[in-house]
Homo-oligomer: A and B are copies of this chain.
Amino acid sequence: MPEFLTLKPPGEALAILNHNLEFNPQSENIRTEDSLGRVLFSSVRAEIPIPGFRRSTVDGFAVRAGDTYGASESLPAYLPLVGEVPMGAAPDFVLEAGTCAVIHTGGMLPQGADAVMMIEYTQQASEKEVELLRAVAVGENVLEIGEDVQQGEQVIPAGTLIRPAEIGGLMALGITEVEVARKPLVGILSSGDEVIHPSEDLSPGKVRDINSYTLQALVRQAGGLPQLFGVAPDTHRDLAELFAKAHQTCDLVVVTAGSSASVRDLTAIVIDELGEPGVLVHGVNVRPGKPTILGVCDGKPVIGLPGNPVSALVIAGLFVTPTIKRMLGRQERQDIPVIEAVLAVNLSSQSGREEWVAVSLEGGEDGLVASPVFGKSNLIFTLVRGEGLVHIPADATGLAAGSRVKVYLI
């Protein structure tokens, strides 16, 4: 098996793929309220300052701070009440020195006022007069113009994943339509004489197609638009035909080949024939997932995953997800949600190969406890039972029980 002579570490393998690809994200305009989970295409600048007017942050009385200096519970200040600031409109009066006006949270400071006295520190002496039991400083309880965002400031950089908070920020700026990265179309195909559609009845020797559907879901999670091309029989002609069809219409092609060595070789041959430069990496130094193929054919990435469902899903997380994110121009805040946990048992691993172990999580006295979900790597239910994956680095021979590990949530 000559392809295993050149096993690459996963990071290096991904770098080779990236180095051979030009990423040219396309964009489309959609309604901001529909943009959750999309990726911002162009940086957004604030055309206006937020807030756009001086606002009160409390319920109370708009004042000139100078008029409150020295006021205390034992020696209150008294100010005549000259009006009330309406919500949603500019006050129709100027606050003269030595006066105050009712203002609500979010209300606009009248001209002349420079602070707000909280209602808690006042007593209304009469309808026309307010007793102030404290002093306030200039600017106290006031949001200044542009205190949230300055006019012209870049507020959301291109490549940002749009969360509820970003939708709020865009709406605050009046941006109701937003330019986002178009979702890359990801063709998914399988091969294997033994693989049948999940709705078909099993007969001895057959297994149902799992990978098309786990990968479809993973592609959706990563922000791509999956398209299923079905299962090709293990012949050169069938596989090449299906590959060509997917490669023609899609931005990225992902194949899960039958798991025998001969079929893996067939996949590599077909990728090499599909376009230049063809196969770039054949074999990755990670468990599970050694027989991974990364290639570029006429400018489009092609990723060959191991046939067994657990490996396919784990390896797709290492190569397909980042490739889709890169095609989206997505800038990571935090690549994968990661949590820390204490390992319940010793985990051994072969030195020189990095390893991902499915674990389940349970609350313990000292935080979360991660227990490996045992099972051979081609059992899909080891992942169903697992909450996350623990990473054992290539230079480790294992991890000791009780050690703190990072768990990458699935």
Which residues of A line the B interface, CB within 8 A?
A: 32-33, 36, 48, 50-53, 57, 59, 86-90, 104-108, 119, 143, 147-149, 155-156, 163-169, 171-172, 174-176, 192-195, 198-211, 213-218, 220-221, 234, 258-263, 307-309, 313, 333-334, 337-340, 361, 368, 375-376, 378-384, 386-388, 409-410
Contact = CB atoms under 8 A, between A and B. Distances in A.
Contacts of A163: 217, 410
A87 B193 contact: yes
Contact of A168 (B213, B334, B361): B213
The winner among A148, A174, A217, A260 for most chain B CB atoms within 10 A is A217
Contact of A192 (B88, B164, B165, B386): B88
A107 B259 CA distance: 10
Given A59-B260, A339-B337, A378-B57, A174 B194 contact: no
A378 B143 contact: yes
A332 to B, nearest CB: 10
Given A33-B216, A234-B87, A381 B261 contact: no
A32 to B, nearest CB: 7
Nearest to A197: B176
Nearest to A155: B381
Contacts of A211: 168
Contacts of A167: 213-214, 216-217
Contacts of A375: 147-148
Contacts of A334: 339, 361, 368, 387-388, 409
Contact of A214 (B165, B218, B333, B410): B165
A168 B309 contact: yes
A199 B172 contact: no
A261 B213 contact: no
B259 A220 contact: no
